[in-house]
Amino acid sequence: MSVAPMIEVDGLEVVFGHGSRAFRAVRGISFSVEAGTSFGLVGESGSGKTTVLRAIGGLLPQSAHVSGLMRLAGETLGIERSRAFRRRVQIVFQDPYGSLHPRHTVDQILGEPARVHGLHRVDDRIRRALLEVGLDASFRFRYPHQLSGGQRQRVAVARALIIEPEIVLLDEPTSALDVSVQAEVLNVLGRLRREHGLTYVLVSHNLAVVSHMCDQLAVMQHGMVVETLNVGQMRTDTPEHPYTKQLVRASRGYDRAAVETLEEFEV
C-alpha cells in the first residue's frame, strides 16, 4: 500500500478581485512533497510563489478565490484551518522583526504558542527550543529590538518548532538578512529538518538558497509552474525551460554578455 505524500497540490488557482479587475495570481499549479523532504518554489517577485505558500497555510485573505485541491497526508484541506492543522503546520516569515511582537520578550514569544496548544513543561520547551537554534538562556528575556537580524530569525524558527510541527513553510527566511548571516540560519534549518524529520516548503527567489536546502523545486513564472526538477538537474545545468535557464545564468552573478541575452517572457 502506497503512502500519500505529505503535501499534495492539484490544480491550485488563486484569483484576487472580480470581473475585469480579477487577477489570477496562481494558475492551475500541481506538485507533491514527500514526508521528510524539502521542496522549493523559486521565481522572480510576483511569480505567485508566496501566494501558494499562504494558500497551503490558510493565510490568504477571505477576498481571495481559491480552487483546486490541497491535501495534507491524504486529507483534503477545506477553507478553514483547524487547531490540529496549526499544530502540524507552522510558518516562518520573511521579516524576522515584523513577525515578532516588539513588546514581548523572547520568553513570551516562545511560550505563547506552547500554551495556546495546551502543551506541558513550557519552561523546558523554551530552553530547549533556544538551544536548538543556537541561542543560550541569556536571550530568553530580551526584546526583539535587542537582537540582531539573524538572532531574531532564529527566534522565529524556534517559535515555529516549539509545538513540534511536522511541516514548516518557509517564506524567504533569509532574504532580509546580511549575506554573512544567511548561511548560519540555513544551516540551522537544515540541521533541524534532519534531526526532527521535518517536511519543508521553501519559497525563495535565490537559486543558491534553494539548491542548498531543497531536494526538489518548482520554477514559477506568471503564476504557473514552468518546470519541476531535482537539485541534481539544477546543479548540473540541465534545466529545459528557457526561463529556468535564464534564472540559472542570473544566479551566477553579473555577466554583461549574459545580461544582453536576457529575454522577456509573455504571460
Domain CATH for 40: 3.40.50.300
Residue 230 included in any domain: yes
The string of pLDDT tens digits covering residues 140-151 is: 999 999 999 999
10-residue stretch averages of pLDDT, the chain, 267 residues long: 84 94 95 96 92 96 94 91 93 87 96 93 95 95 95 96 96 87 92 96 90 92 93 75 79 49 49
Give the pLDDT score at 96. 77
- Could you tell me the pTM of the whole model? 0.90
Residue 115 included in any domain: yes
Distance separating alpha carbons of residues 126 and 130, to the nearest angstrom: 6
Type of residue numbered 206: N
Residue 181 included in any domain: yes
Are 167 and 199 a contacting pair, CB within 8 Å? yes
Within 13 Å, how many C-alpha atoms sit on residue 142's CB side?
14
Residue 88 included in any domain: yes
Give the pLDDT score at 118. 92
Are 227 and 41 a contacting pair, CB within 8 Å? no
Are 166 and 135 a contacting pair, CB within 8 Å? no
2 contact partners, CB below 8 Å, separation of at least 6: none
Closest CA to 137 of 152, 127, 122, 151: 127
Residue 25 included in any domain: no
Residue 90 included in any domain: yes
The string of pLDDT tens digits covering residues 2-23 is: 678 999 999 999 999 988 899 9
Domain count, the chain: 1
Distance separating alpha carbons of residues 237 and 1, to the nearest angstrom: 36
Closest CA to 246 of 234, 258, 233, 232: 258
Cell digits for 99?
513577525
Residue 119 included in any domain: yes
Give the pLDDT score at 237. 67
Q: Is 198 helix (H, G, I), strand (E, B) or coil?
A: coil
Residue 214 included in any domain: yes
Give the pLDDT score at 244. 81
Q: What are phi and psi of 73, to 5 degrees?
A: 50, 45
The string of pLDDT tens digits covering residues 107-135 is: 999 999 999 999 999 999 999 999 999 99
Give the pLDDT score at 249. 75
DSSP annotation of 226 reads E
Could you tell me the residue range of the domain that residue 197 belongs to?
36-49+79-259
Give the pLDDT score at 176. 80
Q: Is 72 helix (H, G, I), strand (E, B) or coil?
A: strand
